Structure 1
Amino acid sequence: MSKVIITCAVTGGAHTPSMSPHLPCTPEEIADQSIEAADAGASIIHLHARDPDDGRPTGDPAIFQRFLQRIKGATDAVVNISTGGGGPTMTVSDRTKAALTLRPEMCSLNMGSINLNLSELAEKDRDWKHDWEKPFLESTKDLVFKNTFADIEWIMENIGANGTRFEFECYDVSHLYSLRYFADRALVKPPFFIQTAFGMRGAIGAHPEDLMHQKRTIDRLFGNEYRWSVLAAGVHQMRINTMAALMGSNVRVGLEDGLYISRGELAISNAQQVAKIRRVLEELGMEIATPDEARQMLHLKGGGDVGF
């Protein structure tokens, strides 16, 4: 078994500021928590940006720049910029502007459109800090995160032209087949970093059988041309990551995917989640990959060839 790559998804665009006082929203908070996560053992930092005034997701490259410079100066972690950018209501060109402009080593790429329903998060009685939060969550019941074949092809051709490689986010079995289609057209080349997502409303479930089915499908479609990674939402995060790691997977944690460190207890930072999964994996006899080892495993271009 090779060393395990830990990715930390620091803030995302699904959770809102009122859900946890520990969710980083300003550029300073995002930078601080990214650096702490890297120090705790994350070799890849997966990043979204938020409006520093109200925590609303944004795709503005200028806001990304405000935390990317600090992260790069303080760590050697691989920076992975989301192509989900400011969220599902934006055009593909707007939500990918940061990845296109800043030319990171890696960016995420959803391998299909998703009916990702977050409306249940609006049902809890909360002291809402901003007037956009609850309506945004409620609206996702009737919202599609659009990533058509044309969108995916545009991202592969334009962002890939900068030497940026992709974390292929696959929320269901069909997304694996879509990736195989683009690979057969030689729009992307191995090794494929396949991030399978479990347990979100609108994605595949988080049962062990779901995990095993995705692994069997990846093996059949991609043979030895891939590196597998797993993320799981909410309460499923640590359990599914541990099972997947025992099956040879890399792992992803972070406040984008789940706000808690244990049942009923909010995580106080991204680093706390990284430290926990690292402790679990090392107790099971696994070694954690450094950023440079992750670069080698994923054939990345290196931190010196980016636009920030």
Structure 2
Amino acid sequence: MIDFHCDVLSKMLKNDALTFQGGADGTLDVTYERLRQSGTMLQTFAIYISPRQSANIEPVLESVDLFYERILSCKEMQLVTSAADLESSITSGKTGALLSLEGVSGLQGRLSMLRLLYRLGVRAAGLTWNDGNWAADGIMEPRGAGLTGKGREFVSACNELGIIVDVSHLSEQAFWDVAGLSTKPIIASHSNARAVCNHPRNLTDRQLKAIILGEGRVGITFVPWFVTSDREACVTDLLGHVEHICALGGEKHIMLGSDFDGIDSYMTDLKHPGEVYRLKEALLARYSEVQVAGFMQNNALTFLRENLPAV
């Protein structure tokens, strides 16, 4: 599989004792061993700084350091910053590691910090978490505003640099601002269909269609309360989101965005990468092998090949 969102780095930032390799104590959902055992092709690692932490660049840079020191130090993990890196990781059989930014508060409006993070390997970025910041409002911000002037500059800078813009967590107005401004395809790295589960963090049909028409991608997420609202969530509940997005014309635009390590309660049968095979089996009962391969990895793979810098 290819998974476009996990929060390993956030957990490590809060707990310096956590280890990615040999971490068998259950404190991390995503570990080196689970990624290798599950045959994961690429895992995206998000830099997420809680609003309760310092809103400056230091914890962001500390997270980047954790990525290099604890994730990329594992011998079968390979940094992916370009399409060439992606092909190299596939050819070598290594697990690709892509670095993303979930919320830009710590940049404090300075595009110089974005350029620095690009040089350090960041290749995807969401403007905010659920709250509002200098760039945009998040979906839980009561104001419900869109992009600020600085936020518009940020999106344009991402397009110029080759950083994929992520619209998960954005307010609806900010979503439409990004969709209208971005000259490159956008992603929702970890969001489901609101028509299937009526949670604000999920996307409306109109939003989903905009991503599809723009050749972007939607990462189906395993957050239980984004999957179903009336009972414990299980793998079969995810199929409703897949089916709905397919009905909107999005068969080629579905990918995975687990949000492992970013949640404290789980679907009953999908708690870490070692259990994603259950999703694949459920999908194969309803879709062809070609379609399932698209959902699990090929749709994301095609997108990355087309939208990462060439080298």
Same fold (TM over 0.5): yes
Give the drift of 1:177: 0.9
Per the alignment, residue 98 of structure 2 pairs with: 80
1:282 aligns with 284
Partner of 1:115: 131
* CA positional deviation for 1:47: 0.9
Q: Verify the 8 A CA contact 2:196 2:240 in the aligned structure 1.
A: no
Name the CA distance, whole Å, in 2 between partners of 1:142 and 1:224: 26
Contact 1:43 1:294 in 2 (8 A): no
Higher strand share: 1
In structure 2, the CA distance between the partners of 1:26 and 1:174, relative to structure 1 (3 Å rule), is farther
Alpha-carbon contact 1:41-1:275 (below 8 Å) kept: no
* Aligned equivalent of 1:219, options 180, 201, 209: 209
Instruction: Tell me the residue number matched to 2:34.
Output: 36
C-alpha separation between the residues in 2 aligned to 1:213 and 1:254?
16
Pairs within 5 Å for 1:175-254: 175-183=174-182, 188-190=183-185, 192-195=186-189, 197=191, 207=197, 214-219=204-209, 223=213, 225-231=215-221, 233-237=223-227, 241-246=238-243, 247-248=245-246, 249-254=254-259
Aligned to 1:130: none
Amino acid at match of 1:217: Q
Aligned residues: 254
2:163 alignment partner AA: T
The CA RMSD over aligned residues, in Å, is 5.0
Q: Quote the Cα distance in structure 2 between the aligned partners of 1:35 and 1:152.
A: 38
Question: Aligned partners of 2:270, 2:208: CA distance in 1, in Å?
Answer: 33
Q: Does 1:58 align with 2:56?
A: no
Residue in 2 that maps onto 1:297:
303
* 1:68 aligned partner, one-letter code: L
Tell me which stretches of 4 or more aligned residues in structure 1 moved more than 6 Å.
14-18, 141-144, 209-213
Aligned partner of 2:84 in structure 1 is none
Asked if structure 2 preserves the Cα contact closer than 8 Å seen for 1:43 and 1:77, the reply is yes
CA contact (8 A) 2:11 2:261 kept: yes
For 2:270 and 2:187, how far apart are their aligned partners in 1? Answer: 30
Name stretches of at least 5 consecutive residues in structure 1 with no aligned partner.
117-140
Distance 2:201 2:174 in 1: 14
Determine which of 58, 80, 103 is the counterpart of 2:121.
Answer: 103
Shift of 1:82: 2.6
Q: Report sequence identity in percent.
A: 7
Unaligned regions of 5+ residues in structure 2, if any?
A: 80-88, 133-139, 228-233, 247-253
**Higher RCO (CA-CA < 8 Å; seq separation 6+):** 1
Change in Cα spacing, 1:27 to 1:152, as seen in structure 2 (3 Å) is farther
Q: What are the within-5 Å matches in structure 2 for residues 5-44 of structure 1? A: 6-11=3-8, 13=10, 25-26=18-19, 28=21, 33-34=31-32, 36-37=34-35, 39-40=37-38, 42-44=40-42
Letter in 1 for 2:155: M
